[in-house]
Amino acid sequence: MDKTGYYGTFGGAFIPEILSTTLEQLQLGFKEAKEDPAFWSTYQGLMSTYSCRPTPLTHAENLSRHFGGPQIYLKREDLNHTGAHKLNNVMGQGLLVQRMGKTRVIAETGAGQHGVATATMAAKFGYSCTIYMGEVDVARQRPNVFWMEQLGATVVPVRDGARILKDAINEALRDWSTNMDTTHYVLGTACGPHPYPEMVSYFQSIVGTEVREQILRQSGRAPTRVYACVGGGSNALGVFSGFLDDAEVELVGVEAGGEGLETHKHAARLASEHGSVGVAQGYKTYFLQDDDGQMLETHSVAAGLDYIGVSPILSAYHEEGRVRFEAATDEEVLEATRLVMRKEGIIPALESAHALAGAFREAPEMNGDGVVIINLSGRGDKDIFTIADALGDTAWKSFIITKAEEYRA
């Protein structure tokens, strides 16, 4: 990364003038924090006593036998406090908010895990908290909405646009531009204007540091491949960070293939031919957009992967060839979810199940002495309605429809 926040030709800070001073303050605050050894020590201590770190690396023996190929290991971010990797980032940003002396935090969320994590952080540190969430996601992620509200956050359903994650981000940016003196925007993934991609990947690197030590201790060797789902890219950058300097370790990001890449009902920016370079929401990267630069609608069974853009850091790795990108369809994801539940007794988030699906597709073709790590970025409690609906459970479907109508009212 250069000093202006570019990773190759991607990144930067394309923001309205009104936000320039606030963003400069954040850049300076983050730089000072990174250079202060006590800050990282405080962060690690907080995560170890409050957030169940280090999270385990589980040898999935049953899955390994099932595929008859490599030994499969799951990095258990689903066991992190609040049920996903998201808390790694928000607790770090919470400490930054303390240093900057602000009293209110706002956030966007799709799957709701980032919203719950932000609301949790706000409760822990005593901040006022507002969460923006697309109306579609509010309905399909009702359990997380409930917990955000119980934690004291105000959840604002966004009814503009497609009413999903990109629209929630736009609304959060509008809020920030009018309340920047007191408010910090806790961006949930490694996207947006500089320094957010650097900052989020910095806090998520705790995952890579842990898993590298764990796999060397447990298997005696570096992995053959590391898989992670890719929405914005925070969990992928976290787990990949432990192996970026190991050329022999293949890094695989799995995007949302939705109903198939040929249908355009997907969110595959890098794994398809539909992504192109553009500027939106404060940064330059690959987006799903038309020839005029208008953002296209996306689709995924997983709310957290239903996003038009991708981290500029991952775009740079894509062009360098350091990370390979694939896509998993909704059907493959649901099958992978069922398989992990039946074979290992683990309920993965639908986002994480994309990484599982990508790995399961390739595992039978891999050498039997290989070692695979899959980042299980979150647990699937939040997806009970979506999974039940996909599997034809009409009772849950009726409940979802009722809740959606309540919010529209």
Residue of 86, 166, 284, 382 marked catalytic: 86
- Residue 34 falls in the annotated catalytic set: no
Closest CA to 264 of 285, 290, 283, 286: 290
Asked if 382 is an active-site residue, the reply is no
Q: Whole-angstrom Cα distance, residue 155 to residue 145?
A: 7
The strand pairing partners of 76, in sequence order, are: 376
b/e for 372-396, b at 16 or more Cβ within 10 A?
bbbbbbbbbebbebbbbbbeeeeeb
> What is d(CA 69, CA 54) in angstroms, rounded to the nearest whole number?
28
User: How far is Cα 250 from Cα 306, in angstroms, rounded to an integer?
Assistant: 25
Give CA–CA dist 113/229, Å, rounded: 15
Q: Tell me whether residue 86 is one of the annotated catalytic residues.
A: yes
Active-site choice (64, 77, 102, 108): 108
Give yes or no for a contact between 258 and 332, defined as CB atoms under 8 angstroms apart. Answer: no
Specify the DSSP element, H or E, that contains 89.
helix 86-100
The residues, ordered by sequence, that sit 6+ positions from 226 with a Cβ below 8 Å of its Cβ are 239, 240, 243, 249, 250, 251, 252, 372, 373, 374, 375
Nearest in space to 133 (alpha carbons), one of 151, 152, 107, 100: 107
Residues annotated as catalytic are 86, 108, 377
